[in-house]
């Protein structure tokens, strides 16, 4: 069996109202789908990066650079293919759009491997658990809407919710306090500050959230380099008892080595669609277990294909230190009509459907229906 083609294309759904996460605002929920096809007609699917907005750069890397590199190769040689693709990006910097592209192909290769062997990917990795607690992740909203969405989440069975806050300490504390009052103390509240604060501001914020019983505070400090990111959050971790989470922007295990050595976070958040695919997410998960850290992968909420979520779920189910998974509040399980078998949350748990591969399949008309490419 040989790889016959590797194809990337953007899909998405225009929004009636922009969604905001920190400095990022999107008008389209979308992602970059990667398909790897064999000469026997089998197709594996993956997702590259957080958003369809990257297609103008990530797409050509897949279609014109990394894809042709592996055509004619055995799709089951996933580790060899991964390292060959990584080595080929040496002159490009080995991070950013290069790892986004590699990630999408790697996820598709694992999906393909599962279909070849008729096994779900988590079985191939070594199943450690059969389901995982899901937390609801909406975008940044004003208090009235944040409260409404939090209550809706509890009605859907979620027992954990992540709130987004801005750089105004007073309004951030007020929002979390109001949501806490609305949902009660039995619901865990995480807070993502999206790097809106300096060190002193983050310290004040963390102390306020500690008193409100926040489950974790995510990436509160603005950092412009990896060393600053690690050192500043380590500084904060030494001064508060509140658990911290972060790492979604780090790429490959090599960047996580320095982070784990300093232990700035209790929960680490690599993203399968950017960090290096299923292969690298699994390696990082096993590394983090050695440091007694919890793995809670980031899921790109600006996407909505359900493919990146399925990839992360399979890795989580193979790790004994992965207690939670992020589920985007706006179609994160997959848009209606895009997948034939989207994942679903039952009683607050995301459960594998145990289908071969990553567990989700594109609907026959999904690509055409949600395509963001110009119509011809």
Closest CA to 331 of 306, 314, 361, 368: 306
Regarding whether 327 and 230 lie in a shared domain, the answer is yes
Domains in the chain: how many in total? 2
Regarding whether 139 and 69 lie in a shared domain, the answer is no
Q: How many helices (H) and strands (E) in the chain? A: 14, 13
pTM: 0.96
β-bridge partners, 345: 350
The reported pLDDT for the residue numbered 376 is: 58
Regarding whether 283 and 151 lie in a shared domain, the answer is yes
Long-range Cβ pairs for the range 144-153 (8 Å, 24+): 146/175, 146/178, 146/179, 147/178, 147/179, 147/182, 149/329, 150/179, 150/182, 150/183, 150/187, 151/182, 151/183, 153/329
Is there a domain that residue 375 lies in? no
β-bridge partners, 29: 13
Regarding whether 189 and 300 lie in a shared domain, the answer is yes
Regarding whether 134 and 104 lie in a shared domain, the answer is no
3 close to 73: Cβ distance less than 8 angstroms? yes
Regarding whether 94 and 131 lie in a shared domain, the answer is no
Is there a domain that residue 40 lies in? yes
β-bridge partners, 191: 163, 217
What is residue 32's three-state secondary structure? strand
163-200 residue pLDDT tens? 999 999 999 999 999 999 999 999 999 999 999 999 99
Regarding whether 336 and 298 lie in a shared domain, the answer is yes
The reported pLDDT for the residue numbered 374 is: 80
The reported pLDDT for the residue numbered 335 is: 84
Is there a domain that residue 85 lies in? yes
Cα 246 to Cα 64, 96, 121, 218, 364, distances in angstroms: 33, 17, 26, 6, 37
Alpha carbon 155 to chain centroid, angstroms: 24
Q: Which CATH number covers residue 35?
A: 3.30.390.10
Is there a domain that residue 294 lies in? yes
Regarding whether 224 and 288 lie in a shared domain, the answer is yes
β-bridge partners, 133: 324, 349
Its domain, for residue 332, covers 122-351
Regarding whether 243 and 279 lie in a shared domain, the answer is yes
Regarding whether 152 and 84 lie in a shared domain, the answer is no
| Spans of the chain, pLDDT less than 70 | 21-23, 94, 375-376
The reported pLDDT for the residue numbered 23 is: 63
Regarding whether 180 and 45 lie in a shared domain, the answer is no
194 close to 164: Cβ distance less than 8 angstroms? yes
43 close to 35: Cβ distance less than 8 angstroms? yes
Furthest C-alpha separation in the chain: 60
Regarding whether 267 and 226 lie in a shared domain, the answer is yes
Q: Which CATH number covers residue 263?
A: 3.20.20.120
């Amino acid at each position: 069996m040989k790889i016959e083609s590797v194809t990337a294309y953007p899909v998405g759904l225009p929004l009636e109202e922009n969604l905001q996460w920190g400095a990022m605002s999107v008008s389209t929920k979308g992602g970059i789908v990667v398909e790897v096809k064999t000469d026997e007609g089998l197709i594996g699917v993956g997702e590259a990066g957080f958003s369809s907005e990257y297609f103008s750069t990530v797409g050509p890397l897949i279609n014109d650079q990394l894809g042709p590199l592996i055509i004619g190769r055995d799709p089951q040689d996933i580790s060899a293919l991964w390292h060959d693709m990584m080595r080929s990006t040496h002159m490009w910097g080995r991070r950013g759009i290069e790892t986004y592209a590699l990630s999408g192909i790697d996820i598709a290769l694992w999906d393909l491997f599962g279909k070849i062997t008729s096994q779900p990917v988590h079985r191939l990795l070594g199943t450690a658990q059969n389901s995982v607690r899901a937390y609801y992740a909406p975008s940044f909203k004003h208090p009235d809407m944040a409260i409404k969405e939090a209550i809706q989440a509890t009605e859907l069975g979620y027992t954990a919710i992540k709130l987004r806050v801005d750089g105004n300490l007073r309004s951030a504390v007020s929002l979390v306090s109001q949501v806490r009052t609305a949902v009660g103390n039995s619901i865990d509240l995480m807070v993502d500050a999206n790097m809106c604060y300096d060190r002193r501001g983050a310290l004040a914020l963390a102390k306020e959230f500690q008193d409100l019983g926040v489950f974790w505070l995510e990436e509160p400090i603005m950092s412009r380099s990896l060393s600053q990111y690690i050192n500043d959050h380590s500084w904060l971790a030494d001064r508060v008892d509140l658990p911290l989470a972060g790492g979604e922007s780090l790429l490959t295990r090599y960047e996580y080595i320095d982070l784990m050595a300093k232990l700035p976070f209790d929960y680490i958040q690599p993203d399968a669609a950017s960090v290096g695919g299923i292969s690298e997410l699994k390696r990082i998960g096993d590394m983090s277990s050695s440091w007694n850290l919890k793995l809670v992968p980031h899921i790109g909420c600006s996407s909505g294909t359900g493919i990146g979520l399925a990839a992360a779920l399979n890795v989580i189910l193979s790790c004994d230190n992965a207690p939670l998974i992020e589920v985007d509040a706006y179609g994160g399980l997959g848009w209606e009509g895009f997948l034939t078998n989207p994942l679903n949350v039952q009683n607050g748990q995301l459960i594998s459907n145990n289908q071969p591969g990553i567990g989700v399949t594109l609907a026959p008309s999904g690509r055409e229906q949600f395509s963001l490419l110009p119509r011809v």
